[in-house]
Amino acid sequence: MSKTVFFVVLLALLLMGQSALATHSAVVLGFRGGAAFGMGSEYHFTQSIALRLGIEGTTGDNPLILSLGGHFLNIQPKPGTLTPWFLGLGIVSYSGNNSATGASASLIFDPLERDNPYFAEIGIDFLGSMRVMAQVGYYLASDAKWL
């Protein structure tokens, strides 16, 4: 079984099992090797630490992008004053014509507004060469734990 197939099966199982894990789903739109649209899921261990999973389709050379990682280090000068920033680290896999797997680092602004379930993310995927990534998302769960 190739690494990509294993990664796809693992990610699909985790995404489908999100109700058992009490995770929060999100719809994601952005740029990651082309225009991207996908689904993500997040499981919060604490307010500052979360496991993140994602699957995206793109218009680029690699039509399927899978990601697995987390966000850490809540960077907020004073609680309740600014949008919290988090450091995101993970593994990303681009599948398609030029398949590659590597690391990902990003800054996550989560949530964009205190009362709305939006988030934004900017970062770099390290896959032999660096690829810039920018995306916005909307959490589908109404009981998100970020506040």
pLDDT tens, 88-108? Answer: 999 999 988 888 899 999 998
9: three-class secondary structure by DSSP: helix
Element (H, E) at 18: helix 18-21
Q: Is residue 101 part of a domain?
A: yes
User: Quick check: is 13 in a domain?
Assistant: yes
pTM: 0.76
Residue 41 domain boundaries? 3-139
How far apart are alpha carbons 115 and 113 in whole angstroms?
6
The three-class DSSP label of residue 12 is: helix
Give the count of domains, the chain.
Answer: 1
Average pLDDT over all residues of the chain: 80
Q: Tell me: cis bond preceding 111? Omega within 30 of 0 counts.
A: yes
- pLDDT of 22-74, one tens digit each? 577 888 999 988 899 998 888 888 877 888 888 899 998 888 899 999 988 77
Residue 86 lies in a domain: yes
Q: Which CATH number goes with the domain that contains 97?
A: 2.40.160.20
**Residues 6 or more apart in contact with residue 139 via CB below 8 angstroms:** 24, 25, 26, 42, 111, 117, 118, 119
Q: Minimal CA–CA distance to 88: which of 64, 67, 104?
A: 104
Identify whether the C-beta of residue 4 lies closer than 8 Å to the C-beta of residue 127. no
84 located within any domain: yes
Do the Cβ atoms of 93 and 100 come closer than 8 Å?
yes
pLDDT class of 11 with cuts at 50, 70, 90: low
The verdict on residue 147 lying in a domain is no
Residue 16 lies in a domain: yes
Contact 114, 7 (CB under 8 A): no
Beta pairing, strands 64-75 & 85-95: antiparallel
Cα separation, 116 vs 4, in Å, equals: 35
* 144 occurs within a structural domain: no
